[in-house]
Amino acid sequence: MKYESQKIAQNFYTFAVVLFLVQTVVGIIAAIQFIWPDVLILNFNIIRTLHINALVVWLLAGLMGATYYVVPEESQSELWSVPLAHFQFWATVAAVGLVILGYVWMGLNPQANSPIFGINPLSEGREYIEAPRWADWLIALSVILFLVNNVMTMFKTKHWTGIQGTLVGGLVFLTLMYLPGMFYTKSMVKDQFWWWWVIHLWVEGAWEVIAGALLAFMLMKVTNAPRAVLEKWMYIEVGFVLFTGILGTGHHYYWIGTPGYWLWVGGIFSSLEPVPLLLMVWDAFRTTRENRVVSNKLGLFLATAHAIFNFVGAGLWGVIHTLPQVNKWTHGTQITTAHGHLAFYGAYVLLVVAMIYITLPHIRGVTEYNQSRGYRSFWWMTVSMVFIVLTITGAGMVQTYMERLLGLDYVTVKGTYNLWFWIFRVLFGFGFLYGVGLFVLDYFRLGREPVTVASARFAEKAA
Ligand code: HEM
Ligand code: HEM
Ligand SMILES: [Fe+2]
């Protein structure tokens, strides 16, 4: 680590890692509730909200931590204001903590979310961004403070690089795209129209831009590949992501009451979305082939795995149901859930995990660390996730057949499902939890335990 202020990244990483564990435990509870609805005092709706909001928040925290590491490094200067970064961190933790308590309280006492002056105080009820209005403002403020700090760091030194510029550009896009989610209208069609700007333009726009920048950074750090080449490919990837992803939003406008031309626009542009993701995979392999000196094998392994699973989860599992001709059968089924899991895992969980393994050793001041636990954690998480996704893809096919071909209603189908789908999801969920547990343990131990010969050899072999 070159600059003392990069240490702030660790606060965000710790928050992210702890919430990842919470998200996973809550995911297992949600899965058990498919078999046993009354297993807990909190109902499925609250558990599901906690699961997906924890996901969004921890990934954002991880990306913030990564940015606080990358921007000073690329700017070749200390962060503009360390106290501001600390304030922003604690304000975020406090706001998120209050929102979570609010969801739990609402679960115990649904009346508590009754409108006050027309505003629901505990949950706004829009999937993934359920946070109430007062929290929206706090979150927006926190993100603006975060942006100001990083942009001022860049302005202060005037040392600008493509990586850092693209990263901050993606973050500004991300912030702007939070605002359509705060727009109230009485029309459900318009509400959904704007809501997708947040959800879709985040994960298939802004976040992919950030991923492109961080992939270039990671490859440069672990292989010492030339910056000019990496940045050239980054611009091509990111340009293509925006070209396909922005109009690709249309794949959510097929059936919500928007004009018919969206069937064409959405179908054509979203079908092209896997192309830049495939470029990223190729970029990772090309860089690895051309630069043989690797400083952090696990880091390179995870960065490449991120590129591959971004392509498989978002690209492949996305494109299979993105044409309107297919989507009219699969819309809103477990096929969607299967894709949602593999896409988020491949594109963003692995991105944050890879960034942590690449930057944390520098933050903790070590060059060598036990890599074996990191590999084991990766395999437990990845194999379990792949099986969860295969299981619910199967469940989704059965659901599509019964609901859309036989015309049975949602509740009847839910009541007649083969329970084994749900039992397998729970079992693989525990496998995933074990992998997350290893990762969390490794996070707290990294650089703080002696490097053993055995584990160094294991890492050699695994790589
Ligand atoms: C990393 C990027 C991506 C992530 C994290 C992601 C995640 C998700 C999630 C969570 C949903 C469910 C939303 C809901 O609750 O209704 C969804 C829906 C969808 N995604 Fe993605 N996705 C990504 C990329 C893609 C790509 C590249 C494609 C197409 C090639 C795609 C196609 C779709 C389609 C068609 C739906 C709607 C499914 C339906 O009609 O029910 N996604 N995505
Ligand atoms: C232990 C592992 C996990 C289990 C058992 C699990 C289980 C569940 C369950 C039961 C739901 C509700 C599905 C529904 O409403 O039909 C859900 C939703 C969701 N989970 Fe997970 N989850 C796990 C891990 C993860 C991870 C690691 C991610 C992110 C990478 C994730 C992302 C999501 C998303 C985006 C949704 C909403 C998608 C949708 O309903 O279309 N989950 N999960
Ligand atoms: Fe989308």
Q: pLDDT for 286-319, tens place per residue?
A: 999 999 889 899 999 999 999 999 999 999 999 9
Angle between helices 44-75 and 162-176 (to 10 degrees): 150
Percent of the chain at pLDDT exceeding 70: 97
User: pLDDT by residue (tens digit) across 126-162?
Assistant: 899 999 999 999 999 999 999 999 999 999 998 899 9
Binding site membership of 51 for ligand 2 (Cβ less than 6 Å): yes
Mutation test of ligand 1: which of 238, 251, 331 has the most ligand atoms closer than 8 Å to its C-beta? 251
pLDDT at 455: 54
Could you tell me where the DSSP H helices lie in 2-43? 8-33
Spatial CB neighbours of 1, under 8 Å, sequence gap ≥ 6 = 7, 362, 363, 365
In Å, how far from its chain's centre is CA 182? 21
User: pLDDT by residue (tens digit) across 107-119?
Assistant: 999 999 999 988 8
What is the pLDDT confidence band of residue 456, given thresholds at 50, 70 and 90? low
Give the integer Cα–Cα distance in Å for 442 and 199: 31
Residue 80 has pLDDT above 70, yes or no: yes
Binding site membership of 339 for ligand 2 (Cβ less than 6 Å): no
Q: Do 146 and 168 contact (CB within 8 A), yes or no?
A: no
Q: What is the rounded average pLDDT of the residues 381-402?
A: 97
Q: Which residues surround ligand 3, an ion (CB under 5 A)?
A: 200, 204
Binding site membership of 432 for ligand 2 (Cβ less than 6 Å): yes
pTM for this one? 0.96
Q: Do 269 and 324 contact (CB within 8 A), yes or no?
A: no
What is the pLDDT confidence band of residue 460, given thresholds at 50, 70 and 90? low
Give the integer Cα–Cα distance in Å for 358 and 6: 13
Binding site membership of 51 for ligand 1 (Cβ less than 6 Å): no
Binding site membership of 92 for ligand 1 (Cβ less than 6 Å): no
DSSP state of 77: S
The alpha carbon of 304 and the centre of ligand 3 are apart by a number of angstroms equal to 23
Q: What is the rounded average pLDDT of the residues 270-283?
A: 98
Give the integer Cα–Cα distance in Å for 162 and 213: 8
Give the integer Cα–Cα distance in Å for 18 and 100: 14
